[in-house]
Amino acid sequence: MICDVYLWGGAAVLNPTLKKEEIEENSLICSMANGRVNNCYSLKDYVLKTALAYGIWKAQPIGIMPIFEDLKNDIQGVFDPLKRAFNYDVTVEAPGHTWYSEGANLILEKIK
């Protein structure tokens, strides 16, 4: 059983076609965790911003943005998997894709 999941600088793209249905379908990822899905993203992760720009038009990897924020308001059920997703802006602690290991202790302190 998986309790908590920690995503740091994730390259996964939840909505390559920018459709809400696609994000909702991919939100089932959260249901694999019995606990929380913690997405740590950095607004200064230029590796993710530039690398995926060449491969997928208008792609937004989860490592540079909060996930499922726009869908949380539509949730009715208490046990919906989206309620398990928590976002942490770690731009200060990881000002780039290769900085996650150096800022690991500060990032972990931020996640409570």
pLDDT in tens, 82-92: 777 899 999 99
- Residue 58's pLDDT is 65
pTM for the model stands at 0.82
pLDDT in tens, 34-86: 888 899 999 999 888 887 666 666 678 899 999 887 766 665 554 466 777 89
- Residue 74's pLDDT is 62
* Alpha helices (runs of H) in the chain, residue ranges in sequence order: 20-26, 46-55, 104-110
Sheet containing 85-89, strands listed edge to edge, beginning at the edge strand earlier in sequence: 5-8, 37-41, 85-89
Give the pLDDT mean for 24-37: 80
